[in-house]
Chains A and B, each alone.
Chain A
């Protein structure tokens, strides 16, 4: 009865303000809409409220609530923006709720929309759900919790509950598989995101192994919760006891199953950690290397360094510090473990005493918490270091403007792993770092702020140790190299990253003219040095630090970003693609003009992004090259190849600059 009373009361209130909104012409629509939204805001923090508004959504839309706002045209709505809008609070979040309810009504065929049919609407909602799992499952991320009030959380949660009860979850299952695949194929060092989604699926969804989609989801789920036959329905403790009853043959089976799901998804289960420890402790050598999932090459390394590796595993691997097993597997496979500097570095670092501030940072970083809290910060750090050494392309910047530092960590882990370990050791012990720049020393603790104001700790433990300092040092180098009428990166990149960065530097943007000067020449140099068709069929040897313009999905200039060009190669279909490391780990980017970096399916190695090379060139503004080699080949690059790049560039970010057409001496 009480409930009814409130709804009735709401009804009469809503009617009155809704009528005002209907009667308003476009002159006062915005003001009336504002008042109406204030009222809705109060109403929609319960399921009943949402239901009440849902049944009026046609009338509300008709009254013009969306008119003149970015929500007006359903075909211009972007699922990826929904999450941020909810976090922005009322009134944005309120109209966003209305927008989703309108689309739900289109799905349910209760509303017709000329720009969106029921199927598109359903696709849209599914995408929104997938991007907002935290709200669907009412498990807001820490950041979300901080940003949103309780009332706002209730609103959004009520909405997502309402929607997920009304649309088929089968659709979102496919999207979840896609999402998980997109993330896992990149093999990121930080695996929290996929682990979280998998945990939520386990908790909130009933999966039927007979259905193909469910089976795929089960695959992901099992990779963490049940990677082997023996781990089924057992707690970690029970599994440990169970292992001691097994014969070698059964242990080999467990090891084989654990390693194959690890290699398939790049995720390591705590059971796998438990298993490896048991195998190593009890001298089951064969099962041990099988559980690492290595080929004959890795197997040889295992036997070569068995004693060393046994010690390393026993000291570092724990069920809740197990992801490093995948890193270790890669280290054996790619031979990095064979470098004596790496082995001694990994021995040395296990003996250091962490600076208290560093210890604190590690404890805030992305680690899997051990319920018994027996894992030390140093163990987490070493585990993260092994992961980075094994997955150099999985390093991410999190929500930090530190693409420069992430790029550096990734490069060193491939080409100077000893140096990287040394940097981590120094930084972890002294909470400080020193670099040399043009004959002078730069010490992080003695220079001003970097780009990061407040570090987002959703990073691996190595990154939280290094990034703050690298960022300061990078910024100081930039300051010292500024005012030279050229892009400071020309000098900073080789100094920061190391001597394998080429000395030659081409920038499309000319500081002297404050314009894009001789873009054709710029593209020609890039092709003549990096494109196998024009550089004598040479390959890119070392990662090339490249500056790119990031553009919106409509091609508008958004900002600058640092990436590394790793290789230019033909993809399986024969198209020439640029393969690069993008430290922001985002698999769903859209840079406009149909330029959408892909992360798998086009010949990418795990962690690589790729674009057709002309599209890549069209977003680039700076790169390094070998001056001596470029000169011979520049004139061989055909004009048509340059023209297609130029057109893409001019019609997108190029609009933000003046273009000057002179030939300059590069």
Chain B
């Protein structure tokens, strides 16, 4: 068992889980949190994680963590992945652990690695300006044998190193490139549009093997998902597990959790979208914890520990073949109007047997909604719970379009 986990980033639910399982830990985050940590007896090392300099670097941080006997670092957020990688390189005496962390932080490098290893990926390229995106779209159109008058092939652009949907733009035409793309977007990754059912996997890895696989069915990216996966995806579970294990092998991941996103086409092909190795967004681990009845956050942290025993692993993770009977889903609520003044929970929701809870709060005053970056900040989440995955999908699609904010 690890002597002490360094939790890289501030997350109260994770801290709470660690306290509950009673494992030694120390939180590394910005000095802003220091007072709160002190008041609540949370072991804490303040660090300027957004700065890299002579006085702010992994060697220095490792020194500061020594008094705590830290031997495992756990990245909680996208921005702390390299920090955790660097620390773990030191702890495991393996420089490639850091390189692997870089893999997660550069989407182009990530795709290239996946391609070399034999995963199915879309066409992709690093682009540096609008012209680059246009050339990419032109070549894609050529490859798709576009005729005069036919629509352009869709292109996605994404920053190399941002979490989830932040900075993600879908470009459906040449004119979109002029209208939607901004100078600050570059350099970035351009890639062809992958079609099919999107889903994500949360694979808890230990000793290079996937020890538990959660599949999250995306109803609509950025809006809604549910756990466990519906019946169709479930019928592909073995193939999906195979692909995930392949990814783990190619990337050389030994400990922790990966959160890859995939597309399953009608022709039964599985394409790799991208992956991360921190706590996924969309409240996914919350849903997984409820559906599988385990402490997903604690499991996430513990899987990073190379010295975790088989017994401990089995205690903390659900069995590989678990198939819960109750589905948990959520839909994130975004206001649909440009200006909102009140919250109104529709009557139909109150009477909906699948409705579980919500955390929406009314706007303080009339509020203008700024343009969304990525999918923007949602105003809250509505949770559902029920036995039928198809009904769940229907509900999530429906409530995505209901106006909660007027």
Contacts and interface: CB of A to CB of B under 8 A. Distances in A.
Interface in B141-184: none
Interface stretch (B73-81, B231-239, B357-365): B357-365
A149 interface: yes
B15 A13 contact: no
A25 B342 contact: no
B351 A6 contact: yes
B360 A38 contact: yes
A91 B361 contact: yes
Contacts of A151: 344-345
Nearest to A39: B357
Contact of B16 (A6, A16, A28, A149): A28
A26 B40 contact: yes
A26 B12 CA distance: 10
A35 B13 CA distance: 15
Contacts of B385: 16
Chain B interface size, as a band, is 20 to 34
Given A90-B343, A151-B344, A39 B358 contact: yes
A151 B349 CA distance: 14
B350 interface: yes
B366 interface: no
Interface string A352-367: 0000000000000000
Nearest to A43: B350
B156 to A, nearest CB: 33
Interface in B291-346: 342-345
B91 interface: no
Mostly helix, strand, loop or mixed at chain B's interface?
mixed
Interface in A331-347: none
B361 A90 contact: yes
B16 A42 contact: no
A30 to B, nearest CB: 9
A53 B350 CA distance: 16
Contact of A35 (B350, B353, B359, B362): B359
B358 A28 contact: no
Contacts of A13: 355-357
A36 B358 CA distance: 8
A24 B286 CA distance: 13
A663 interface: no
B361 A27 contact: no
B350 A149 contact: no
Interface string A1-44: 00000100100010011000000111110010011101101100
A89 interface: yes
Interface in B1-49: 12-13, 15-16, 19-20, 40
Nearest to B359: A35
Nearest to A5: B353
A235 B378 CA distance: 60
Contact of B12 (A27, A38, A42, A89): A27
Mostly helix, strand, loop or mixed at chain A's interface?
helix
Contacts of B15: 27
Nearest to B351: A6
A91 B380 CA distance: 14
B359 A16 contact: no
B300 to A, nearest CB: 16
Given A42-B345, A89-B362, A151-B344, A17 B16 contact: no
A28 B12 contact: yes
A123 B385 CA distance: 43
B353 A149 contact: no
B261 to A, nearest CB: 26
Contacts of A9: 353
B40 A27 contact: yes
B136 to A, nearest CB: 43
A220 to B, nearest CB: 39
B356 A17 contact: yes
B345 A34 contact: no
A38 B380 CA distance: 11
B356 A16 contact: yes
B351 A34 contact: no
Interface in A136-155: 149, 151
Contact of A149 (B13, B342, B351, B355): B342
Given A25-B19, A27-B16, A17 B344 contact: no
A156 B12 CA distance: 34
Contacts of B13: 27-28
B80 to A, nearest CB: 19
Contacts of B344: 149, 151
A39 to B, nearest CB: 5
Q: Which of A16, A34, A38 has the most CB of B within 10 A?
A: A38
The 5 closest A-B pairs by CB, nearest first: A27-B12, A35-B359, A27-B16, A39-B357, A38-B358
Given A24-B16, A27-B40, A39-B357, 4 more contacts: A16-B385, A28-B16, A39-B358, A90-B361
19 contacts: A6-B351, A13-B356, A16-B357, A17-B356, A24-B16, A27-B12, A27-B15, A27-B40, A34-B359, A35-B358, A35-B359, A38-B358, A39-B357, A41-B345, A42-B350, A89-B362, A90-B361, A91-B361, A151-B345
